[in-house]
A and B are shown apart, each in its own frame.
Chain A
Amino acid sequence: MPQVPSYWSTLTTPLIRQNPVTLQILGICSALAVTTSLVTALTMSVSLTVVLTLAAGLVSVIRRHIPDTIRLIVQIVIVASLVIVIDQILQAYFAEISRALSVYVGLITTNCLVLGRTEAYARHHPPLPAMVDAFGNGLGYSLILIVIGGLRELLGKGQLLGAQVLPLADAGGWFTPLSLMLLAPSAFFLLGLLVWAVRSLYPAQIEQPEYAPAQLKSPAE
């Protein structure tokens, strides 16, 4: 990140270049679990972005008052309280979606993305940049979720947001749904391919081989 970040670059770098999911491996747990359809992916994205932005703001406001030793507990309590609020709102107004998301809304508490951003950024910055950064990261996360959720719903059921987009073979159309797309493995495959695509776009992100094969380095390994 640049030394004097303008709000715009703080907001846009996490979208693709510094994407929290593909580069930093943060928050993938929920990213994969809720992406069987676009609706759940969208709900999850909105919930996470709201929680992340508010949590970053709150942590940043009280950043000078948190003793260093107990900061993790303070941050987790703040995040957990926000998640409880979101969870109650979802249960009250969107009961269907809330049931589909199961425990994954509660799991926003332990989403590494939230804690990662509050710990790494909000703790050292004034509220406004912290919230902008959190919002940008939330959007980056949402982008991945929406891409994967959209692809899985489109290829798995031929639908988008519950509306039939591709005519199914059963109903006289040409599209045979790939039911594998609705199962767990396809989420891994899609995200793996997505990571590949992003890294081909930005070769600087390619990981160096961690260790060379033994016989090339030293005979006695």
Chain B
Amino acid sequence: MTGLWDIFVTAAFVDNMPLTLFLGLCTFLALSKRPEAALGLGVAMTGVLGFTVPLNYLIYQGLLAPGAWVWAGLPDLDLSYLALIAFIGVIAAAVQLLEMVLDRFFPKIHAAFGVFLPLLTVQCAILAGSLFMVERSYNLAESAAFGFGSGLGFALAVAMLGAIRKRLVYADLPAGLRGLGIAFLLAGLMSLGFASFAQMAVAQ
């Protein structure tokens, strides 16, 4: 149980997706202009990551991993190079599903997302979650903990950045720094903050 908790906390804070691993930055910066959209993005990310990482685990272990086809008399078959295409397919389907569910039950949230919901398909953070799961050879429970943890970490970071950027309207910035430039610097400062979580993990 402590192992799962460790993975969860590490994924959420120490290896924070956008701030430490630089994953999903495109949407991280594009959607953090307003806190409401940022929060919505965070929730969607948590849902999609928590769903796709365990699912991709099952697909990878059941169909693609070396030796997965032993029962069919094909012990040498190694399809792991197909993982990328399989993962992308699963993610695209999951996002589509999410979109339909939101459209049916929460039309307001769906409208707020607009074009960004389909873009979650090409969100590097989501694909990276699945790829990390393979690289670190998590089991099913661990991959679920990892998926939820990293989704939560993303939600936290994007909500914080959204809140800060909203306050920034009162700041008198140099013209060239406005918008994207200051967002990068802010993310850098937040990243410094999150780096201290890594020290905590070491201290334990």
| A interface residues (Cβ-Cβ under 8 A, vs B) | 22, 25-30, 32-33, 72-73, 76-77, 80-81, 83-84, 87-88, 102-103, 106-107, 109-112, 115, 183-189, 191-193, 195-197, 199-200, 203, 206-207, 209-213
Contacts of A29 in B (CB 8 A): 22-26, 124-125
CB contacts between A and B, total, < 8 Å: 141
A107 and B177 contacting across the interface, CB-CB below 8 Å: no
A207 and B169 contacting across the interface, CB-CB below 8 Å: no
B185 and A207 contacting across the interface, CB-CB below 8 Å: no
| B interface residues (Cβ-Cβ under 8 A, vs A) | 19-26, 29-30, 33, 81-82, 84-85, 88, 92, 118, 121-128, 131-132, 135, 169-170, 174-185, 187-189, 191-192, 195
Q: Shortest beta-carbon distance, B25 to chain A, in Å?
A: 5
| Also in contact, A192 and B175, with CB within 8 A (given A33-B22, A102-B135, A184-B19) | no
In the complex, 26 of the A-B residue pairs with CB atoms within 8 angstroms, ordered by the A residue number, are: A22-B180, A26-B26, A28-B26, A29-B24, A29-B26, A32-B22, A33-B21, A72-B118, A102-B135, A106-B84, A107-B131, A111-B124, A112-B122, A115-B122, A184-B21, A185-B189, A185-B191, A189-B185, A192-B185, A193-B181, A195-B180, A195-B181, A195-B184, A206-B179, A210-B33, A210-B169
Residue of A22, A185, A203 most packed against chain B (CB within 10 A): A185
Contacts of B170 in A (CB 8 A): 213
- How many angstroms between the C-alpha atoms of A102 and B121 in the bound complex? 21
Closest residue on chain B to residue A32 by CB atoms: B22
Q: Which of B82, B169, B192 contacts A209 (CB 8 A)?
A: B169
Closest residue on chain B to residue A186 by CB atoms: B188
Q: Shortest beta-carbon distance, B120 to chain A, in Å?
A: 10
- How many angstroms between the C-alpha atoms of A206 and B84 in the bound complex? 38
Contacts of A107 in B (CB 8 A): 23, 124, 127-128, 131
- How many angstroms between the C-alpha atoms of A202 and B30 in the bound complex? 21
Closest residue on chain A to residue B188 by CB atoms: A188
Contacts of A73 in B (CB 8 A): 92
Q: Shortest beta-carbon distance, A23 to chain B, in Å?
A: 9
Q: Which of B23, B88, B176, B189 contacts A109 (CB 8 A)?
A: B88
A199 and B176 contacting across the interface, CB-CB below 8 Å: yes
Residue of A72, A73, A106 most packed against chain B (CB within 10 A): A106
Contacts of A22 in B (CB 8 A): 180
Contacts of B29 in A (CB 8 A): 25, 28
Contacts of A188 in B (CB 8 A): 184-185, 187-188, 191
